[in-house]
Structure 1
């Protein structure tokens, strides 16, 4: 079954087979390779026509694929075709020269054909395991625009460097409700403003988990559903704001599908790169800052380190909220002037970013709600939270850090507002970011929800919480959420007192 991927960005038609991401050209190469192998076993009358047609198509499509850029997943397909081609063509050449046609005996041809078929099958299997991610179409009424800003805090020194004049700089990507772009408008590059930045970030992320960069070479090829610098929606309304901090070593774009879904429903999402913590941060002047945070191997020392890094992230979040408030008031010239409702703000994060969101909310009452996506709380547990919190977690198992649930329960239970813990069945730690869209569907890595359901569940649950807390009637949210959230997992409600 074939279907068109909506929102093609540059006029090229991209097709996907259900469950398998391959371009039309890659599919032609695959079919040509299969035909070359199969030709040996066809009736004598059909062999020449099939071999000539398949060989011509394979050579031409392979040349075009090389010009467009070959993904590593296609190399075994090309190898299988290259191995089969001379054995398919050689009998035809001998026939044309008048000499007796030569064909390998079946007992030689069979293992050769099986070997070629095995090589060719490796290609689509690898493309399925490591695809070019296809981002879900946002379900809201708004189109989505995105852009990147960079801000320096003149009041905070950069503690990761020895330069006393170095000040803390953060890179922020905004997703916002936008006007509809003309058909064929190029969509935003995933992981960066340019493909080169995307490759820099992708390679750094791969190194961070010990993988060679080529394994995820499809990721920097991807494009999301938003449009860079699209005009802001012209309706004149003001949009609630959600700040986001990524996981340890994570990057601002790691939850793009989630951010685009929220923006399509009328939120502005501001996601941060934390320099020296994020895997790679490309600054406006072209410099790339890579991570300098690393485990010491000692649990007690690591907890102290994590608490310190979390505090820096929390300060980054507070600084960015101040910048956004100034932007809304016109202190910074921007198309979003007067469009940000900084009186309705949530702070969110994944993993260590979730811990940073909790700390930012403790320190800054301007945050009205908190979303912790499977984040272990680090740092001080006081003062108590006064904001409602939604904590999404994977299933708690014997392998889970024994400190995680007690620490999280303490944070939620001590809040003076009603808070929620939602355990999502079938989720793993990376379910709560874009990982399921491009990583192998291994349950221990990305869970069992799948590439379609993973982003849908996370976005739907968090949007229900945000709609109730930031847009709902006071006093009604607890009952509404207690009724709505169980559709996405196992809900625990923590009420004040």
Structure 2
């Protein structure tokens, strides 16, 4: 919980306990504690921003008013039982007030550790060569929203970027499209700030900066890995996050149109996922085309001549990891790639590997699922045959092995879940998406991500990766031959 939320709950409930225990009833002196109680609510709402999770706490001044002025003070005092009952009821209400804001926290991102401040800007790009297949109007063209994070000069006047631009539309879409929750559930995400500075100047410390493209998971969103985007930018990378329109949770265009996801959360078979690979790889290739144009002539004057097109990498989570694999394989512009617990859909990878640097990060959740024995779960499978159960697991192991052949790198973070590689692990412990230690997971992901791209895009000493293997022996860092 935030500072003023904690202060409001602590002070207002202290006043309520004081009123109940001492049996305070109507006199003029009670207007002072009432002023404090109402004042705290006003200060918290105005200073930090109100949210529905705090509604029980916001009602505490009304409870205090009711206790002070409803009913009369009994002569001879109250029985011990009456005091006990009132105190117990108040304690239950305290728990009801604390639970929602604690379980749906307005969290903070760790400050990026690199030498650069981080700037951010957003582009709306229209592909004149492709129509929008999700539209019934054949004249509609494919449109993408792309957010960029970059090394910046901190001048002191820049506005700090919110986590989610167009917060009301995005929080509703993330709640319903990603997590199948009521639209209002994650509205608190609109209160979260980042470390990125809106429209800040690009740092002139380097002549050109390497470029990274990030792909979110199915029904995800462009900045679902904010912890990682800011960290990479702080180490001198220009990072582009793509909203894959109609297959992201939502894309909000500058004119207010919203492209909500059309994808069911119940996709399960490889064939269903395979169908979406061409759209995403075409989108990623289009974004790389736009990067080339941006480097030639950025109308804002920020990136012209500053993008190193010979040092382009890509990274992705989940289905975005599968797209990253395909781009590494098919697009010569992508020189190195990182997949975070991604699948292997699309064209099969050669048994000899990519012939390019590739790092695969596995979650323990996915690893355990792949390695689960049919005999261990047969009773829960409802008649599914051994062959049907084992086939996709064997396929995953084979494709994973091919991708890592010829020098591919891999780690597995113990205690991690599939969502541990995204910001979703911070949203709420109630969602069951959190691994054993989210902050540890993020630290490991960030350190290996920076070291990997520094080695293979910036040409730095590979000993940094080996040093991380020693620092985090539990991740079992491997160089696959």
Aligned to 1:56: 35
Equivalent position of 1:386 in the other structure:
355
Give, in whole Å, the separation in 2 of the partners of 1:387 and 1:416.
10
Tell me what 2:456 maps to: 469
Match of 1:413 in 2: 402
Determine the structure 1 residue equivalent to 2:441.
454
Structure 1 34/280 Cα, relative in aligned 2: closer, same or farther at 3 Å? same
Give 1:86 shift: 2.6
Match of 2:248 in 1: 278
Match of 2:293 in 1: 326
Conserved 8 A contact 1:179-1:232: yes
Q: Give 1:352 deviation, angstroms.
A: 0.5
CA distance in 1, matches of 2:433, 2:76: 51
Aligned residue runs from structure 1 range 166-245, under 5 A: 166-182=140-156, 185-192=158-165, 197-208=166-177, 209-245=179-215
Once superposed, what is the RMSD of the aligned Cα atoms? Answer: 2.9
- 1:294-309 matched pairs, under 5 angstroms: 294=264, 299=268, 302-309=269-276
Q: Deviations over 1:235-271 (max 9, x none)?
A: 2431111100101100001111210111111111100
Alignment match, 1:130:
104
The 3-state SS of whatever aligns with 1:471 is coil
Measure, in 2, the Cα distance between the counterparts of 1:372 and 1:62: 45
Unaligned runs of 5+ in 1: 1-20
Q: Is the 8 A contact 1:392 1:423 kept in 2?
A: yes
- In the alignment, is the contact (CA less than 8 A) between 1:40 and 1:88 conserved in 2? no
DSSP 3-state at the match of 2:144: strand
Q: Which residue of 2 aligns with 1:145?
A: 119
- CA offset digits 1:51-87 (Å, max 9, x no partner): 5543321122234445665322222223455335433
Once residues 338 and 403 of structure 2 are traced to their aligned partners in structure 1, the CA distance between those partners, rounded to angstroms, is 16
User: 3-state SS of the aligned residue for 1:380?
Assistant: coil
Structure 2 residue 216 is matched with structure 1 residue 246: yes
1:300-359: CA deviations, max 9, x gaps?
A: xx4223112122111211111121122113276541111111211111111100001001
Number of residue pairs the alignment of both structures matches? 456
Whole-angstrom CA distance in 2 between matches of 1:57 and 1:449: 38
* Aligned-partner SS, 2:315: strand
Shift of 1:90: 5.3
SS of 1:40's partner is helix
Q: Which residue of 1 aligns with 2:412?
A: 423
1:481 pairs with 444, 465, 477, which one? 465
Structure 1's 87 and 272: CA in aligned 2 closer, same or farther, altered over 3 A?
same
Residues in 1 aligned to 2:406 and 2:297: alpha-carbon distance in whole angstroms: 33
Q: How far did 1:148 drift?
A: 0.3
Q: Give distance in 1, aligned partners of 2:206 and 2:63.
A: 62
* Partners of 2:104 and 2:188 within 8 A in 1: yes
Question: For residues 286-365 of structure 1, what are the structure 2 equivalents within 5 Å?
Answer: 286-294=256-264, 299=268, 302-330=269-297, 334-365=301-332
Residue of structure 2 equivalent to 1:32: 12
| CA–CA distance in structure 2, aligned partners of residues 55 and 268 of structure 1 | 52
Tell me the SS of whatever aligns to 2:56: helix
Task: Identify the residue that residue 132 of structure 2 maps to in structure 1.
Answer: 158
Q: Residue 59 and residue 221 in structure 1: after superposition, are their counterparts in 2 closer, same or farther (change >3 A)?
A: same
Contact 1:427–1:447, Cα closer than 8 Å, also in 2: yes
Give how far 1:381 is off.
0.7
After TM superposition, give the deviation of residue 292 of structure 1 in Å: 0.9
Task: Work out whether residues 19 and 67 of structure 2, in 8 Å CA contact, stay in contact via their aligned partners in 1.
Answer: no
Change (3 A) 1:480 1:189: closer
Contact 2:126 2:141 (C-alpha < 8 Å) held by counterparts: yes
Is 1:434 the counterpart of 2:413? The answer is no
| TM-score normalised by L of structure 2 | 0.86
Shift of 1:439: 1.9
Could you report, residue by residue, the CA deviation over 1:357-389 in whole angstroms, capped at 9, with x for unpaired residues?
Answer: 001111101101111111111122145523211
SS in 2 for 1:144: strand
- The structural deviation recorded for 1:214 is 3.0
SS state at 1:188 partner = strand
Distance 1:212 1:79 in 2: 23
Structure 2 unaligned segments of length 5 or more: list them. 372-389
CA contact (8 A) 1:35 1:51 kept: no
CA gap 1:168/1:54 in 2 versus in 1, 3 angstroms: same
When residues 207 and 441 of structure 1 are mapped into structure 2, their CA distance, relative to the original with a 3 A threshold, is: closer
CA distance in 1, matches of 2:139, 2:149: 32
Cα gap change, 1:417/1:388 in structure 2, threshold over 3 Å: closer, same or farther? farther
The verdict on how the C-alpha distance between 1:415 and 1:214 changes in structure 2, with shifts beyond 3 A counting, is closer
Structure 1 stretch displaced more, 357-366 or 212-221:
212-221
C-alpha distance after superposition, 1:22-61 (max 9, x if no partner): 24265235412232223332599x9989955433211222
Q: Assess if the C-alpha contact under 8 Å between 2:321 and 2:339 holds in 1.
A: yes
Which one of 308, 328, 339 corresponds to residue 372 of structure 1?
339
